[in-house]
C-alpha cells in the first residue's frame, strides 16, 4: 500500500509542475493578446481608408488595372495561408488550414490552378507532411508581426499579380486568416484581396443616397493605382497578420486556462486517492497491531495453563 501512496504523490508533484507552466503560459498569452488587440485597432483605420482611396480611383476612371479589374479568364489564383509558428493554441491552426483547403478545392473545381503561400511553421509542416507544393513560405514572426514582415510577405505576391499567367503570374489573390472577433470567438475566413470588388466596397463605404465625388487624377489614374497597389496589399496583409496574432494568443490563453483547470481537477482527484490509500495503510497497520496484540495475549493465556 505504501508503494501506491508514493505513486500518487509522484503524480501530484508532476501535475502540479505542469499546472504552474500552463498558468504562466496563460498569463503571458493574456498580456500579449491585449497588445495585439491594440495593434489591430490601430491598423484597421489605415487599411479602411486605403480601400476607399482605391475604390475612388477605380470608380472614377475606366483604367484596367489588376488592382480593380477582373481578368476575362481566370486561370491561376494565389492563396496566402496564415498560421502560427507554435502550437498549444487549440484548434487555431487546424481551422485556418481547413479553411484554406476548402478555398483551394473550390478554386480547383472552377478550373483554376492554385499557388499556395504560407505564413507560419505549423502550416508549412502540414503541407510538407502531405507533400503538397508550396510556392513560398515565411516563419519566425507570427507572434508579433511588424509592417516590415508584411512587406516581405507582400513582395512576391505583388510580383506574381503583375506578371502574366504564362510567365507564372496569377489573376487572383486570396488570403486565409483568423479574424479576431472577441476573446472567446475567432473565425477562420478567406478574403479576396485582388482584384478588389469595387461595387461591394462602394455599397459598404457609402451611406444610402450619398452621391460619390468625382476626381481628377494626376498624372493618370493608372499611375495612381500602380502607386496604391503595393500599399494596399501590404496594409491588408499586415492587418491580417495582426488579426491572426491576436486570435492565436486568445486561443492559447483559452487552451492554457482549460489545461490549468484540468490539472487542478486532476490534482484534486489524485489527492483524494492518496488520502484513501493513506487511510487504508493506517487501517491496515492498526489491524496488524491489534492482531499481533491479540495473538500475544492468547499465547500468554495459554502458557499460564
Per residue in 59-79, pLDDT (tens digit) is 666 666 666 667 677 788 999
Q: What is the pLDDT of residues 235-275, one digit of tens each?
A: 889 999 999 999 999 999 888 988 899 988 999 898 888 88
Helix (H) or strand (E) holding 234: helix 221-304
Q: Closest by alpha carbon to 183, among 132, 257, 271, 247?
A: 247
User: For 103-146, what is each residue's pLDDT tens digit?
Assistant: 999 999 988 889 999 999 999 999 999 999 999 999 989 989 99
Q: How far apart are the first and last CA of the chain?
A: 39
> Is pLDDT at 152 greater than 90 in this prediction?
yes
φ/ψ of 182, rounded to 5, equals -160, 180
Average pLDDT over residues 171-194: 87
Among 120, 112, 64, 86, residue whose Cα is nearest residue 241: 120
Question: Where does the pLDDT of residue 212 fall: very low under 50, low under 70, confident under 90, or very high at 90 and above?
Answer: low
Q: What is the pLDDT of residues 42-57, one digit of tens each?
A: 888 887 777 777 777 7
Can you read off the three cell numbers belonging to residue 159?
A: 510580383
Instruction: Return the percentage of the chain with pLDDT > 70, whole number.
Output: 85
Instruction: State the pTM of this model.
Output: 0.80
Amino acid at each position: 500500500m505504501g508503494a501506491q501512496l508514493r505513486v500518487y504523490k509522484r503524480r501530484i508533484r508532476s501535475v502540479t509542475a505542469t499546472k504552474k507552466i500552463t498558468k504562466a503560459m496563460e498569463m503571458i498569452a493574456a498580456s500579449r493578446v491585449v497588445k495585439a488587440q491594440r495593434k489591430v485597432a490601430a491598423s484597421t483605420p489605415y487599411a479602411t481608408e486605403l480601400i476607399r482611396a482605391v475604390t475612388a480611383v477605380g470608380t472614377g476612371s475606366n483604367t484596367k488595372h489588376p488592382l480593380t479589374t477582373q481578368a476575362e479568364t481566370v486561370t491561376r489564383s494565389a492563396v496566402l495561408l496564415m498560421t502560427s509558428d507554435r502550437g498549444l493554441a487549440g484548434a487555431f491552426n487546424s481551422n485556418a488550414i481547413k479553411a484554406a483547403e476548402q478555398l483551394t478545392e473550390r478554386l480547383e473545381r472552377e478550373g483554376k490552378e492554385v499557388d499556395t503561400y504560407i505564413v507560419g511553421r505549423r502550416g508549412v509542416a502540414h503541407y510538407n507532411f502531405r507533400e503538397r507544393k508550396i510556392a513560398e513560405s515565411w516563419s519566425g514572426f507570427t507572434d508579433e508581426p511588424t509592417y516590415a514582415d508584411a512587406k516581405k510577405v507582400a513582395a512576391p505576391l505583388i510580383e506574381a499579380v503583375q506578371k502574366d499567367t504564362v510567365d507564372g503570374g496569377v489573376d487572383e489573390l486570396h488570403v486565409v486568416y483568423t479574424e479576431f472577433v472577441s476573446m472567446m470567438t475567432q473565425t477562420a475566413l478567406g478574403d479576396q484581396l485582388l482584384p478588389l470588388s469595387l461595387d461591394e466596397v462602394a455599397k459598404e463605404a457609402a451611406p444610402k443616397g450619398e452621391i460619390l465625388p468625382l476626381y481628377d487624377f494626376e498624372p493618370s489614374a493608372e499611375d495612381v493605382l500602380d502607386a496604391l497597389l503595393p500599399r494596399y496589399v501590404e496594409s491588408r496583409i499586415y492587418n491580417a497578420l495582426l488579426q491572426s496574432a491576436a486570435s492565436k494568443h486568445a486561443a492559447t490563453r483559452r487552451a492554457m486556462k482549460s489545461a490549468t483547470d484540468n490539472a487542478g481537477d486532476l490534482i484534486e482527484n489524485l489527492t483524494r486517492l492518496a488520502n484513501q490509500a493513506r487511510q487504508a495503510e493506517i487501517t491496515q497497520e492498526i489491524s496488524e497491531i491489534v492482531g499481533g496484540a491479540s495473538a500475544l495475549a492468547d499465547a500468554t493465556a495459554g502458557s499460564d495453563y
